[in-house]
Amino acid sequence: MSAPEDRLAELGLSVPEVPAPVAVYVPAVVSDDLVFTSGQLPMKNGELMLTGKVGGEVGPEEAKEAAQQCALNAIAAVKSVVGDLDRVAQVVKVVVFVASTPDFTGQPQVANGASELLGKAFGDAGIHARSAVGVPVLPLDATVEVEVVVRTRG
């Protein structure tokens, strides 16, 4: 098991199976030393764990947990193309899309669910640049979607 997986295990978490794409794309692509994940929804055990809009029927804390699941799924996508998470040298960029009502402005706090998890999993290598974007709707009415770019070594 890799160091990031050990750190996740200490939190009672594990890297899941890569969720199946919901359309025609692959979960992640390698380009030189970078891995780009496709947008990951909060899929857990084959089911979408949360739908709806933050600021409406979904609370910010629920959405933050969904963002954490999205990050776990992104980690799984990275692992699927690099094999060993110890090869991750740096989480470079994270983009978090939050389906929210027009008056909700707490997207950064929702996105912290993904950022905090990546920091715990990868330590200093998990510190990243980030965008948190409010959108009117996401695929399958998901509440959150997360994309990750990582730099690898070896």
In the predicted structure, residue 35 carries a pLDDT above the cut 90: yes
49 has a pLDDT exceeding 90: yes
| Residue 42 pLDDT | 98
Say which residue the tokens 């891995």 belong to.
35
Question: SS3 string of 52-99?
Answer: CCECCCECHHHHHHHHHHHHHHHHHHHHHHHCCHHHEEEEEEEEEEEE
**Mean pLDDT value across residues 127-135:** 98
Neighbours of 144 (CB within 10 A): 35
Q: How many domains does the chain have?
A: 1
Residue 9 sits in which domain range?
A: 3-152
CB atoms within 10 A of CB 103: 7
| CATH code where residue 64 lies | 3.30.1330.40
Q: What is the pLDDT of residues 56-112, one digit of tens each?
A: 999 999 999 999 999 999 999 999 999 999 999 999 999 999 999 999 999 999 999
